Structure 1
Amino acid sequence: MTSEKRVVVIGGGLAGLRLASRLGTAATVTVLGEETHVPYNRVLLAEVLAGRYAPEVTALPSPGPVLRRGVRAVRVDRAEQAVHCDDGTVAPYDTLVLATGSNAVLPPLRGLFEPDGRELPEGVHAFRTMDDCLALSAAVRPEVRAVVIGGGLLGVSAARALAARGAVVVLAQQGERLMERQLDADASALLATHLTELGVEIHTECRVRGLTTTAPAPSAFEARGAGGGAPAAGAAPGQRRVTGVELADGYRLEADVVVLACGVRPRTGLAQAAGLEIRKGILVDDELRTSDPRIHAIGDCAEHAGQVYGLAGAALEQADALAAVLTGGRAPYTGTRALTRLTLGGTGDDSLDLAAFGETTPRPGDDVVALADGTRRTYRKVVLRGDRLVGGVLLGELSTVGALARTWEGGEPPHDLFHLLTDDGGH
């Protein structure tokens, strides 16, 4: 590829900026970033919410003039080979890369939206973007009643961060246990114990039916017309405010703040409108090409071999692989062996680190080796299939995670499993 080739990347997040950095001067690159914020590491948003990091600490390396911030792509014209933007500009391309990421899932709760409305009640927040994080931070104060809906990675991170800010936190999880996609039952129970000790009230197998809200506050004109004077302080005219969460069994949780942490969904609207093939995400092959060979997709929006990863590590690997393809390296992308790592920050007894990789639930015939230390509150478990390490979970002490992950990724038989599981296994 020569520098005359025009590469347009839609998405100014981790994947899009990594690709732009890897391409360097090999192409003329334009990155369209919808958010007005300086690009940031989404993984660190929970630390911002907890008050441990200032927002600027999350900033990614500056991409320079290739990034157009605050510009939203509204249409891809494949025949014209151009992207039309909301500011009226048009970005022509030779190669287009969709790095549009994902959106927070908003569950179908009664009372979440008014008929024909799309505005969330005051006090209800998603937890996906920097704007979400800053709005939630502004709403949190000591003793505020917060309900987190969803007990996956996002929900656990949000609940821990809110508790660190002094909120009274209830976590409602529809499944049987916390982080059930990553953790086994024992690890999930240890995580629940940790959160409970920090003051988080946990309800599992708990389905949320709806929200209760106040009636919209009248405008000043409406209030005076009714003889009632000005509206109450803090009540935005026409804005409902959340007051509680209704569970399917009829129980009601009082709430000043509700966090929707129900997962994410790939952003595929632009691709679908352009006629590209979509399933769970935007379908790509081993060169990360979509059904249009001039358009590629990477990161949370891409589906490769039936898998949508939604993890930072996979997004970076895909960006690197695509950079190699576009610069003539033609290194195929064969998938990512994803490792989930979460630091529930703090100091001393308030902190907990966890990591999970591969298949953490054994199949019939698999061997399981587990070490637990109740005093130190650590747990390590690996799953073996024949002589291969196929998955593992670690909580409380992660010094061996690097060695275990390398053994798992390499597909080699572990030579000394006990050594890998003990504290000195990573050295």
Structure 2
Amino acid sequence: MSAVVVVGNGIAAHRLVDRLHHHGHRGTVTVLGAEPVAAYNRVLLPSVLDGTLPARALALPGPPDGTVVRLGTRVTGIDRERRLAHASDGTSHPYDHLVLATGARPRIPAVPGLLTEAGRLADGVTPLRTVADCRRVTGGQVAVVGAGVLGVETALALRRGGTRVTLVHPRPYPMNRQLDATAGAILARGLRDHGIRLEPSRQAVAYAPGTLTLDRGQAIGTDSVVVCAGVRPDARIARAAGLAVGTGVVVDDTLTTDDPHIHAIGDCAEEHGTVPGLATTAWDQAERLAATLCGGRARPRASVPVTRLKAPGLDVAAFGPPGPAADVEETVTLQDPARGRYARLELRDQRLVGAVLVGYPQAIAALGALGDQGLPVPTDRLAFLLGAPAERHGPVEMPDDAVLCHCNNVTKRTLADSWRRGARDAAALAAATHATTGCGSCAGAVRDLCAALHAAEPRPEPAVAEAVR
């Protein structure tokens, strides 16, 4: 019997609690969440901005029976010697294992006026990290500062809702960490086609209510400023407790800090010198740590990390870590600027190690499946990119733990289990699991899985009626 205390109530913490139950954890599990609301999927916050989803639709399933969840409870300190987590409500929680899943904090650029003298956000300024942040974005004109993935998704969501949007970015093209210049230029054109005013290679230099001033003296009228300038791991609790902290909370292969009773997962954790910041990585870490705490062992998944723009009408994805992949044996490039399409595949031993794709939705979905399974890319690269069917990359052939919906981290097993419980079509599965409610790119795979499950379902033997004369 062991007591596990989880600090944080985001998707990493939620997944950990679920997997502890799955692996048969014996003991207590207590979750201390700083937000006053139950766990939800913050990846879908842009869908709240455009009205596609109500805030309540982001809620994650409730925790397993017996889990104690204390909402609105912030951890104020850790007594490592006595193994106690002290909380803001005056309570203290003993632990055998403490798991830090504190996520990340938004980075606010040092632009005069964005913060008050007291260090608080000025009126009309907000990041986009919580449901409460969505409610602070008001008015018919909004400036979005930062055109990374979240900034682009936020700008598109606001535009779909009828808001006039200016997107300010200090780099020459949006999503510069994930895309190369060719793909970035195509995305920039797509954003302008959607009615977004894009200001690349520009810096915000001052803010006053109603006006965001850029370098060279350009003033932009705005009712709200949404800051999407990146995040930093929230390692404040770990640092105060004397744990090793680099960019994030430093952990080893078992997700354990330099204190054997304290672990870290998700956006706050630094593993092998990196903080991936991907939901799929957080889920993998939660699975591995749950298995370890229950006496087992799980290896990291070998799948290629995927960054996908969750925006209807713009099919953009990057596979692998940012920057050129190492030890590439083959690079395949396809450019079709007239149709706004571009692809660059980097392969080693016929397998994907990195890629950038714009405008090829079928290839994006297929590459995700191949990367999850470690399968080779079909030898007819052109046909593959153009959407010709390839062998062995459909949802039926995927392993049960393969992620079909990357926006919501929904696995094939979760979808199949929901189907067997009565969610027998794509709409019902969306309601049950939230699959397809993000960028929608997995809709075809979900429909294919439904069809395969229907086809494999045993049919009852027809009744034989005996004729009575």
Q: TM-score range with shorter-chain normalisation?
A: 0.7 to 0.9
Corresponding residue for 2:122? 121
* Rounded Cα–Cα distance in structure 2 between residues aligned with 1:92 and 1:360: 40
* Rounded Cα–Cα distance in structure 2 between residues aligned with 1:378 and 1:398: 10
Name structure 2 gaps, 5 residues minimum.
395-469
**Cα shift at 1:75:** 0.7
Corresponding residue for 2:213? 246
- Equivalent residues of 1:359, 1:383 under 8 A apart: no
* Rounded Cα–Cα distance in structure 2 between residues aligned with 1:389 and 1:336: 10
How do 1:197-236 residues align onto structure 2 when only pairs under 5 Å count? 197-211=193-207, 213=208
> Would you say 1:307 and 2:274 are equivalent positions?
yes
**Cα shift at 1:332:** 4.2
* Rounded Cα–Cα distance in structure 2 between residues aligned with 1:366 and 1:280: 32
Give the number of aligned pairs.
384
2:171 to 163, 171, 175: 175
Q: What amino acid does structure 2 have at the position aligned with 1:279?
A: G
* Rounded Cα–Cα distance in structure 1 between residues aligned with 2:129 and 2:103: 11
* Rounded Cα–Cα distance in structure 2 between residues aligned with 1:292 and 1:337: 30
Name structure 1 gaps, 5 residues minimum.
214-241, 346-350
Corresponding residue for 2:315? 353
- Equivalent residues of 1:404, 1:420 under 8 A apart: no
* Rounded Cα–Cα distance in structure 2 between residues aligned with 1:97 and 1:181: 30
2:191 to 188, 195, 210: 195
* Rounded Cα–Cα distance in structure 1 between residues aligned with 2:68 and 2:384: 44
Moved more, 12-21 or 381-390: 381-390
- SS of the residue 1:76 aligns to: strand
* Rounded Cα–Cα distance in structure 2 between residues aligned with 1:77 and 1:335: 36
Q: Structure 1 residues 334, 387: closer, same or farther in 2, change over 3 A?
A: closer
Q: What amino acid does structure 2 have at the position aligned with 1:74?
A: T
> Would you say 1:6 and 2:3 are equivalent positions?
yes
Larger proportion of strand: 1
* Rounded Cα–Cα distance in structure 2 between residues aligned with 1:76 and 1:90: 9
- Equivalent residues of 1:360, 1:382 under 8 A apart: no
Q: What amino acid does structure 2 have at the position aligned with 1:127?
A: L
Q: What amino acid does structure 2 have at the position aligned with 1:19?
A: L
For residues 147-181 of structure 1, the C-alpha deviation after alignment (integer angstroms, 9 at most, x for no partner) is 11101011101111111121111111011210011
Corresponding residue for 1:74? 76
Corresponding residue for 2:257? 290
1:344 to 311, 317, 331: 311
* Rounded Cα–Cα distance in structure 2 between residues aligned with 1:299 and 1:92: 22
Moved more, 359-368 or 275-284: 359-368
**Cα shift at 1:387:** 4.6
* Rounded Cα–Cα distance in structure 1 between residues aligned with 2:59 and 2:81: 36
**Cα shift at 1:398:** 2.2
- Equivalent residues of 2:10, 2:40 under 8 A apart: yes
Q: What amino acid does structure 2 have at the position aligned with 1:72?
A: R
For residues 212-271 of structure 1, the C-alpha deviation after alignment (integer angstroms, 9 at most, x for no partner) is x2xxxxxxxxxxxxxxxxxxxxxxxxxxxx121122222221221111110011000000
* Rounded Cα–Cα distance in structure 1 between residues aligned with 2:122 and 2:323: 39
For residues 22-69 of structure 1, the C-alpha deviation after alignment (integer angstroms, 9 at most, x for no partner) is 111513100111111221101110011111111111111111542211
**Cα shift at 1:294:** 0.4
> Would you say 1:398 and 2:365 are equivalent positions?
no
Q: What amino acid does structure 2 have at the position aligned with 1:39?
A: A
- Equivalent residues of 2:115, 2:121 under 8 A apart: yes
> Would you say 1:61 and 2:57 are equivalent positions?
no
* Rounded Cα–Cα distance in structure 2 between residues aligned with 1:361 and 1:279: 22
> Would you say 1:15 and 2:12 are equivalent positions?
yes
Question: TM-score, with normalisation over the residues of structure 1?
Answer: 0.84
- Equivalent residues of 2:328, 2:347 under 8 A apart: no
Question: TM-score, with normalisation over the residues of structure 2?
Answer: 0.77
How do 1:328-339 residues align onto structure 2 when only pairs under 5 Å count? 328-333=295-300, 337-339=304-306
Q: What amino acid does structure 2 have at the position aligned with 1:317?
A: D
> Would you say 1:420 and 2:379 are equivalent positions?
no
Q: What amino acid does structure 2 have at the position aligned with 1:353?
A: D
- SS of the residue 1:97 aligns to: strand
